[in-house]
Structure 1
Amino acid sequence: MRNETYMWKILAKTEPEKTLYEHTLDVLTVLKEMMKIFPDVPKLINEPNFWDYVFYALFLHDFGKSAKGFQESLRLGKRWGYRHEIISAGFVACLEYESEIKKLIALGIASHHKEIDELKSKYSTHRKNSPGYERYTKALREIEENFGELVEMMKLIPDLSEEFIGKKLTNFKIPNSLDELLDVFSFAVKSYEDSKSSGIDRVVWLKHVFMRGFVLGCDYLASSGNLEIPLLKNEISEIIRFEKFTDVQLKMQSEDMKNKDIILVAPTGYGKTEASLFWVEKNQNDRRTKRVFYILPYTASINDMFKRFVRYFGEDLVGMKHHRAGYFIYQSFRDREYTPDEAKKFANAFVDLSKKIYKQFKIITHFQLLREIFGLPGFEMGISEMAGGIVILDEVHSYDARVIGLLIEALKILKYEFGARISVMSATFPKFLCEVFKRELEIETFITAEEEVLRKISRHKINLINDSILNGVDRIKKFLEDGKRVLVVCNTVKKAQEIYNVLKEFARGESKLIHSRFALIDRERIEKSLKNESVQILVGTQAIEVSLDIDFDVLFTDVAPIDRLVQRFGRVNRRGRLNYADVFIFTGYLDDDLKIYDKELLDRTISELLKVQRINEVDILNLIESVYADGFTQKQSKIFNETRESFLRLRKEIYPMLSNKIADEDLHRLIGSIEIVPSCYENDYLKMRESGNYFEVVKFFMSLAYPQFFKLHRNGQIYQHSHTLFCLAGYDKELGLLVDEFETNILE
């Protein structure tokens, strides 16, 4: 039982003030929650007593705060100058375990703020009489005056362990003096670092991941005051109720879906998301504690999916992770008429909880998944949360060969090492790619809509034009004059800007241009305007292929690979309100088009499109199979294989608890884009940043593909200021970044 009569004096935190005893109870309360949520972790690492080890790590993790210097730093605001976790780790000397287990616990304690090698660089004690060793012995002596209180806490281990982990632990001895404690560097750090040269077994690797991951997870939540982790209270089928379900949704509600990884293919608007959630229900555990990770390629997709999940499950259960998530949440509070300070407070809290092991449903980008897999700082907590989880990879058609290669390797790790269930979904999914996912992930269950139903979905008529879209302006003008709402999709931003400048003069209604080279502030403004049917003409690039819920009357498009074209088709006659919509495809591609798409794929697409006119969903599937009959092109295969090989080489260098070589910018380079601010927004950006509103500054950024970035950099159009990259190319709020124009007056 707890000792509520002892006058606990050692402080762990201020604002609010917490004694070490109180904070220890808090972290153990969170541990109890974690054990309910992740019951399978001990099985994954063949360590039935793993939660005992985490209990001890958490119980001891802040013992070093008892040092006189640390207590003065809390009470008087003075800096102590030593790391309390180094001292805390030495208390593993009191545990009656074999050496390897004690080392694991010690490393979990020592790394709960910083990576081990970062600590070592400043505090190493490997050489006796070195400055590091002398600082350690001096700091160790500072806990003498509070040693008695630590002893009183340790006497509570049997009762507290029984209360919080359901097991009375007695395999420890209470130390008589500080001399009995261990120096974590000589005891555990050196041998762990030495293991890098010979390599460590994957199960041992996982033990260290889970140890640091759950120590961090419990400590972070306890420190933020979130001791209870919310869980799904009802079955998903009780929450999502439709008058009528699609055949795919009915299949996913079947008992046959239990303990199955799946591939799901169904047209846009067919209810794949809800179908996948019914599959989640079938693969939940009895307590409904499994975490769910929904992966999408674009931030706009994530924002929309987040809103949908919140409608189903509520804000307490749903989080999202992408580099602009804070801005999106901040804006959502501002839209609800919260003051800027209130919106900042709530957005900070939301982002903070989304990073921790708290939200049961998380909507994330593939970048966030790969960030954890590639071992970026703090990855242990993020990837530990995926243990035994349920992972949905959606919109697979949006990824190129490089990213698909990375995602397959990442999903293999989640399935085979972390025990996750996997669902892979897309509206367009060539058989060869299905086979790759089936083979690599050993997926046997393939779900698709019934052919009879698909044949009835016929919304488009194909018209091929053997010319460049740049020569199609007169044809497009006629539809505008007839009052049709026209969508034009180009393969390059430059081409889209040129056509937009010509066509906007002929529109009776509003004209809009959208592509990837708009700052977020302008991109959002344009996307909001598209909800208004007064927009008669929209010119865009691949940016319209996902996320935008738009429905135009007719489409004019550059030729692209068939799966990309199908996504463009889905933006006209989207809801089947017309008998059919005309789709005009210009087959005269230019050299710039070939910088984006493989010539072989474009030629195959054109050849197959010559055979069809009015198409239904079965025709679309057949077209995709015909175009991709030979699988990846030679160029794509090379990229796919080289990426996977590079990933496997790199992964051997990723170690938990240690700093890893790859950084965020390296991962962005691998993914293929970088964030910059157009120079015309520099003053606005700097003023907003100086005001401390780090959510608002996000609206001035835009993503730039690396080839374009390097071109501008070579031209002297990229410069850095206040750790931010700015671009000197011209910028127009209606047209976006004008890369061929050199902006000379950066103060405007």
Structure 2
Amino acid sequence: MDLTLLNKMVLFAKSPQQGGLTLLAHTQQVADVISIMAGRHGFNRRLARIGALLHDLGKAHIFFQRTVKGEVGDDERIISEPHRHEISSLLFLPLFDKKDWPILIEMVAAHHKSALGDVRNRGLIDLVKRNGIDAMILRHAEHWEVWSAMVKPVVEHKDFKVKFRPIELDEAKTALLFAHDYCYRMKYGWSKWRGILMAADHFASEYMEKAAPLVRTFYQVPDLTYYSRKSDLHPLSLLRADHRSRHTFVIAPTGAGKTDFLLRRCRGRVVYTLPFQASINAMFVRIDENLNGKGEKRLPKEQQTDVRRAHAASKIQMRDEKGKWVEEEISLQRNPGASIKITTPHQIASIVFGISGHEAAKLDIAGCDVILDEVHVYDDMARAMMLELVRELVKLKCRVHIGTATIPTSLANELIKVLGGNRRVYRVTFGKRALEKFNRHEVEKLQDEEEALKTVEKAIDNQEKVLFVGNRVGTAQQRYEWAKKQFPNLNILLVHSRFRRGDRAVLEARISEFDKQKGPCLVIATQVVEVSLDISFDRLVTDAAPLDSLIQRFGRVNRRRTYDTIGKYQPVCVIAPSQTDKDVLPYNPDVVRRSYKMLPNGLLRESELQDLIDLVYGEVAIPSIDLHLAAGNSAPLRTLCHRPKSVLIDALEIEGALCVRQSDSKTYIDSFGEDRQNLEIPVPWRSIAPYARAWPRLETGSYPTVIPDDNYDMILGLVLKTAGGNQTVPTTNRII
């Protein structure tokens, strides 16, 4: 390439596949967003803006410009020394007052890569350790005299009003050396400045020219007076919510009004977490319609409460320096400053483990009201993680509100301790007399699948609305195919997590229609129906599961509390667990068998549930996960660093990967925000691992795996087949 031609070229920040933005346009967008965020968080706006100006100036480097324009082939990329644009950006530090350098370095030096311990050893400190300081500086200042002056139009743009001057190479090298030494001396902790730059950069990249107008509507405290409604049928609605205690812990039956009560306890912006990703849509619709109305009664856009969804992180697969496949998790903060953010504990648990984006997550959640609704924390690692999450939320001055229908007594006591003790927690439980009014289910124990199918047939003949729940997606799909043959004229619906998010929203709306209709119908589902779906059926037939999960499933039957339904009981039928452990997966086989054994064969009394839970789980053991914690004693995380991988996915055992159909690929690339999310199919990473080499990944958005259209059915959802047949690939994933 003729280097003199570079002076006539437009500098690009993004490839054509990522929007083709110029460096000036992207810098302006990041600066506009960070300026608003800085004001909301009490940061120095001037420093925030010049950090945004500096953060990508290194993209003017010749190698980056050739790369972004597609001029660097694979062979050249492999043999070339690594180049990181954020490191080249630090060469421009002399344009700014030296007293501002420490904050600017914190914003810029590691806004993509961990300064140390990057998964591909491309952080600033990593590169110096590998190649030496001289080689690192030489690579990132290569052809400095040619490209450094090209940033002048960006620096001197009226939006920034910074005076550009030529920087001698030695002065630039000295600045980069200073930046390296500053990063190297950083102690354990986290940088709020790195967090705000990463949040602004990600948000601006996602929404581009729409980013600043969007973020101006954020950071508003929601008006939750809607939830002050009262009813004798919902005892929690009669309790005052202005208790002086900072935190909340509610144990109450389904239908007691937990959701409304927890929302009434909130004073600021709200982060509402649910244990299942697949439940997010339903809760989003519920709260959005509560606060903003629907149909003709929907409020004008400018009067609406900002209710948003934040789906989970996506694993990025890449090769390390030796060509080995490695993974990195990125916590996607699509919605900084939302008035109400509905998400999963997985999304915010980056603050515990220190994976990429943990500073942005901490910055966004600090001081918020965090609702942990129906958190299933009985598996060892998930239990320990949840306790550490609560501990971190308390450090960030959040108000924590926990609501659950069931929880082992020993675990409840441990959570109260982490929250600061009884004086800091508004603890709400029901007495025996109040609980007896919530008796509504009669348990029928079934011996096997054959008896379960006959029970469904009989219920449909009796004109009942039936919910048939399985523990695995493959099981639910097989039961659906059986039901379509058995009841050709019946309304039947299949619901599980492995549908496109947009399709799931449609399915959930149809569940509501089934719920309201008269006459028989059949909904076949997985555990996704356990939480947040406000549905009520005449009968449940379900696979055996841990007792807490079964109680959640029971709550979908005879759910509506009216004066007429109190004292009336509906059947919940539980299939005996297999004596073969692998057939009981994804759950702990011993817990499932104890749960089935403890269930009565007859009326299930709410007043006895706590004793049953304690008998099933006993004294809850809390395993140590100190080694994995960002603030742990065993291996604390250095400032400006993040971990490439954590126990996060395995601890919560939820969908850790995303897929899109081949036919949706172009639309996914061309869209952003919720339009992209609606095309995504969440799936456990281990389920698609056998196809990792055969199926490509998109290098944009959440980096989804592209699946053949034949592997997605609009009725069955994602269908994963083994190489030799039509059997779906089994998974031991906890939440499917």
Q: Same fold (TM over 0.5)?
A: yes
Alignment check: 8 A CA contact 2:90 2:109 kept: yes
Contact 1:560 1:602 in 2 (8 A): yes
Q: Equivalent of 1:305, from 283, 286, 293?
A: 283
Structure-to-structure mapping, 1:639-718, within 5 angstroms = 641=623, 643=625, 645-647=627-629, 652=635, 654-658=637-641, 660-662=643-645, 667-668=648-649, 671-672=652-653, 684-685=663-664, 695=675, 699=679, 701=681, 703-704=683-684, 706=686, 713=690
Provide the rounded CA distance (Å) in 2 between the counterparts of 1:144 and 1:735. 53
Aligned to 1:170: none
Checking the alignment, whether the CA contact within 8 Å between 1:58 and 1:109 is kept in structure 2 is no
Correspondence for 2:181: 190
Matched with 2:560 is 575
Distance 1:61 1:102 in 2: 13
How far off its partner does 1:461 sit?
1.7
Q: Are 1:392 and 2:392 counterparts?
A: no
Out of 521, 541, 553, the residue aligned to residue 538 of structure 2 is: 553
Equivalence map 1:154-193=2 (5 Å)? 183-193=174-184
Q: Is the 8 A contact 1:519 1:699 kept in 2?
A: yes
**2:188–2:638: 8 Å Cα contact kept in structure 1?**
no
Return the alpha-carbon distance in structure 1 between the equivalents of residues 634 and 230 of structure 2. 48
Other structure's SS at 1:410 match: helix
Deviation of 1:29 (Å): 7.6
Choose the corresponding residue for 2:466, options 486, 497, 503: 486
Matches within 5 A, 1:55-454: 55-56=46-47, 58-59=49-50, 61-62=52-53, 83=85, 86=88, 91=93, 95=97, 97=99, 102-111=101-110, 118=122, 120=124, 126-127=133-134, 131-132=138-139, 135=142, 138=145, 142=149, 183-193=174-184, 195=186, 200-202=187-189, 205-206=190-191, 209=194, 212=197, 224-226=211-213, 229-230=216-217, 236-244=223-231, 246-251=234-239, 253-257=241-245, 260-281=246-267, 284=268, 291-311=269-289, 312=291, 317-323=306-312, 355=334, 357-371=336-350, 373-397=352-376, 400-416=379-395, 418-444=396-422, 445-451=425-431, 452-454=433-435
Amino acid in the other structure paired with 1:37:
R
Q: How far did residue 602 of structure 1 move? A: 3.4
Q: Secondary structure at the match of 1:319?
A: strand
Alignment deviations for residues 637-664 of structure 1 (CA, whole Å, 9 cap, x no partner): 5xx625554446799364453464228x
Asked whether 1:471 is paired with 2:460, we answer no
Q: Deviations over 1:50-106 (max 9, x none)?
A: x45x633533652699999799x99xx999999588556754686475xxx743433
Q: What is the aligned residue count?
A: 639
Taking the aligned partners of 1:176 and 1:677, their CA distance within structure 2 comes to 46
Q: TM-score, normalised by structure 1?
A: 0.69
Q: 1:685 to 1:318 in 2, by over 3 A?
A: closer
Q: Distance in 1 between matches of 2:521 and 2:107?
A: 60
Of the candidates 497, 511, 517, which is equivalent to residue 492 of structure 2?
A: 511
* 2:372–2:403 CA contact under 8 A, matched in 1: yes
Q: CA 1:475–1:377 in 2, change beyond 3 Å: closer, same or farther?
A: closer
Q: Distance in 1 between matches of 2:484 and 2:12?
A: 64
The answer on whether the counterparts of 2:467 and 2:539 sit within 8 Å (CA) in structure 1 is yes
User: Which residue does 2:41 correspond to in 1?
Assistant: 38
Deviation of 1:315 after TM superposition, in Å, equals 5.3
TM-score of the aligned structures, taking structure 2 as reference length: 0.70
Q: Distance in 1 between matches of 2:338 and 2:250?
A: 25
Query: In structure 1, how many angstroms separate the alpha carbons of the residues matched to 2:23 and 2:537?
Result: 63
8 Å contact kept, 1:353–1:359:
no
Percent of pairs with identical residues: 22
| Displacement after TM superposition at 1:142 (Å) | 2.8
Structure 2 residue 595 is the aligned partner of structure 1 residue 605: yes
Q: Deviations over 1:578-634 (max 9, x none)?
A: 521022333353424433333433343344323x73234323334323433x134xx
Q: Deviations over 1:160-203 (max 9, x none)?
A: xxxxxxxxxxxxxx9998687773321121342355xxxx243x
Query: 1 or 2 for the larger relative contact order (CA 8 Å, sep ≥6)?
Result: 2
Preserved CA contact (<8 Å) 2:33 2:212: no
**Partner residue of 2:79?**
none
Conserved 8 A contact 2:468-2:541: yes
- Rounded to whole Å, the distance in 1 between the matches of 2:666 and 2:200 is 39
Measure the CA separation in 2 of the matches of 1:624 and 1:658.
Answer: 41
CA distance, structure 2, for counterparts of residue 739 and residue 254 of structure 1: 54
Equivalent position SS for 2:542: strand
Q: Distance in 2 between matches of 1:492 and 1:87?
A: 49
Tell me how far apart the structure 2 counterparts of residues 555 and 84 of structure 1 sit (CA, whole Å): 56
Conserved 8 A contact 1:460-1:583? yes
Q: Kindly tell me: are residues 590 and 501 of structure 1, through their superposed partners in 2, closer, same or farther at Cα, counting changes over 3 Å?
A: farther
SS of 2:263's partner is helix
Which consecutive unaligned segments of at least 5 residues does structure 2 have? 1-9, 72-82, 117-121, 293-302, 315-330, 698-704, 728-736
Secondary structure of 1:641's aligned partner? coil
Alignment check: 8 A CA contact 1:248 1:447 kept: no
- Note the C-alpha offset of 1:497: 5.2
Displacement of 1:575: 0.9
- 1:264·1:425 contact (CA, 8 Å) conserved in 2? yes
2:521 corresponds to which residue?
536
- Equivalents in 1 of 2:625, 2:242: separation in Å? 37
Q: Which has the higher helix share?
A: 1
Choose the corresponding residue for 1:618, options 602, 607, 624.
607
Correspondence for 2:585 among 563, 579, 595 = 595
